[in-house]
């Protein structure tokens, strides 16, 4: 059968930890859906929840990884709008990966039938998670030394269109950009 998320993901007694990632979602439940159910569904779907019981649930401690909707507040002056506060344990996320964190938190929660509207309003990332990002291998001085450019901003561009150029035409675009005075070019994120 279908799970009632309120039983395990709505935990108003939960006390947040300094290491939790905290999210605040503005949500508008569908008529007849209690705010607690909607908030619990957001916590579940953005962490360990599935809509039905599966046999693999017993192979791990879901409690260790689950998001918890620990508070719900009505939005002042707005009918049927609430802020759902959700805490996520660090163990749920890959270290040093903004992509993994955001995909987990907001990647699968916006299509709920139980919600008319949902928006991530705020996100608190604890120092314990921030410290997992190693940062760039070197600073701007190394880049300036490589380019032999000092005393002014560096100027670059992304080659467009992002897909579809032959290697020859891509090279031509890079050449024209550099010949025109740019310091560097980069490929688009979609190029692989």
Q: Convert the pLDDT of each residue in 118-166 to its tens digit.
A: 999 999 999 999 999 988 888 999 999 999 999 999 999 998 887 788 8
Separation of CA 154 from chain center? 30
The Cα 171–Cα 152 span in angstroms is 26
If you count DSSP H runs as helices and E runs as strands, how many of each does the chain have, helices first?
6, 6
> pLDDT class for 1, splitting at 50, 70, 90?
very low
Q: Which tokens hold the place of 102?
A: 């955001």
Residues 6 or more apart in contact with residue 168 via CB below 8 angstroms: none
- Higher pLDDT among residues 5 and 125, named by residue: 125
pLDDT of residue 77: 96
Query: Is the CATH number of domain 5-131 3.30.70.150?
Result: yes
pLDDT of residue 128: 95
Interior angle at CA 123, CA 65 and CA 26, nearest 5: 95
> pLDDT class for 109, splitting at 50, 70, 90?
confident
Extents of the domains making up the chain: 5-131, 140-186
Q: Which tokens hold the place of 81?
A: 């709008």
- pLDDT, the chain, mean: 89
Q: What mean pLDDT is predicted for residues 170-185?
A: 93
Give the SS3 label for residue 159.
coil
User: Is the distance from CB of 118 to CB of 26 less than 8 angstroms?
Assistant: yes
Looking at residue 95, what DSSP letter applies? Answer: T
pLDDT of residue 136: 85
Cα dihedral 6, 7, 8, 10 in deg (nearest 10):
30
Maximal CA-CA distance, the chain: 66
> pLDDT class for 8, splitting at 50, 70, 90?
confident
Nearest to 165 by CA among 139, 140, 191: 191
pLDDT of residue 181: 92
Q: Does pTM top 0.75 for this prediction?
A: no
pLDDT of residue 28: 96
Q: Convert the pLDDT of each residue in 13-48 to its tens digit.
A: 999 999 999 999 999 999 999 999 999 999 988 888
Dihedrals phi, psi of 160, to nearest 5 degrees: -125, 155
């Amino acid at each position: 059968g279908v799970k009632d998320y309120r039983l395990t993901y709505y935990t108003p007694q939960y006390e947040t930890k300094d290491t939790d990632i905290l999210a605040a979602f503005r949500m508008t439940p569908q008529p007849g859906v209690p705010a607690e159910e909607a908030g619990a569904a957001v916590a579940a779907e953005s962490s360990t929840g599935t809509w039905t019981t599966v046999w693999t649930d017993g192979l791990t401690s879901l409690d260790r990884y689950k998001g918890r909707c620990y508070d719900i507040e009505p939005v002042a002056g707005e009918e049927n709008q609430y802020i759902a506060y959700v805490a996520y344990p660090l163990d749920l996320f890959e270290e040093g990966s903004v992509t993994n964190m955001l995909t987990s938190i907001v990647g699968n929660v916006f299509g709920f039938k139980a919600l008319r509207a949902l928006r991530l309003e705020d996100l608190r990332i604890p120092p314990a998670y921030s410290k997992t990002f190693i940062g760039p291998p070197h600073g701007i001085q190394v880049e300036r030394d490589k380019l032999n450019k000092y005393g002014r901003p560096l100027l670059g561009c992304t080659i467009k269109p992002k897909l579809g150029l032959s290697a020859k035409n891509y090279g031509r675009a890079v050449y024209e950009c550099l010949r025109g005075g740019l310091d560097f070019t980069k490929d688009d994120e979609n190029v692989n």
